[in-house]
Amino acid sequence: MVQKDIDEIRAFNRFYTSVIGLLNNHILDSNYSLPEVRVLYELYHHHCLTASEIIAILHLDKGYLSRILKQFEKKKLVVKVRSENDGRSAHISLTNSGSIEFEKLNAASNEQIMNILSSLSQDESKKLLSHMKEVKIILQKVKF
């Protein structure tokens, strides 16, 4: 790979992150950072995970995840229950408040994407989605 290719990928990353606002400290006009929203997402969709499982899914630093979870506990968004099989491990799940908070964020994210797609023609939307699927297929071959 040549420097020109690297520069092009980095330029695309900068462009796309600005399109969806990932560089903001808090995304979707919320009080949450992107990693925090991703933790909420995983807990919402898996209902119960250990910290190790979240780390494996999101590739987060253990200390960083610990700080996020402490904040979430303080805000009563998550609850931890010690594992019966392994006392060193806890199962983490969203509280009702945590689920409601995630659903608000999810709706805001859906609205953001709808706004992007509504500014495109139907053909442009189809083309964009097709290319995004192709990028995903190609990048799934990369080991993180």
3-state secondary structure of 87: coil
Q: Are 43 and 80 in contact (CB under 8 A)?
A: no
Tokens found for residue 50: 């250990």
- According to the model, what pLDDT value does residue 23 have? 66
Residue 12 in this model has a pLDDT that exceeds 70 = yes
31-139: CATH topology is Arc Repressor Mutant, subunit A (1.10.10)
- According to the model, what pLDDT value does residue 90 have? 93
- pLDDT averaged over the chain? 93
- According to the model, what pLDDT value does residue 20 have? 82
Tens digits of residue pLDDT in 80-134: 999 888 778 899 999 999 999 999 999 999 999 999 999 999 999 999 999 999 9
**CB environment 56-77: b (16+ within 10 A), e (fewer):** eeeebeeeebeebbeebeeeeb
Tens digits of residue pLDDT in 57-67: 999 999 999 99
What number is the average pLDDT over the span 38-66?
96
3-state secondary structure of 90: strand
**Domain ranges across the chain:** 31-139
What are the C-alpha distances in Å from 100 to residues 77, 78, 95, 104?
Answer: 9, 12, 9, 6
- According to the model, what pLDDT value does residue 18 have? 84
Residue 25 in this model has a pLDDT that exceeds 80 = no
**What angle, 0 to 180 degrees and rounded to 10, lies between the N-to-C axes of helices 34-46 and 51-58?**
120
Can you name the residues that pair with 94 across neighbouring β-strands?
Answer: 78
- According to the model, what pLDDT value does residue 24 have? 72
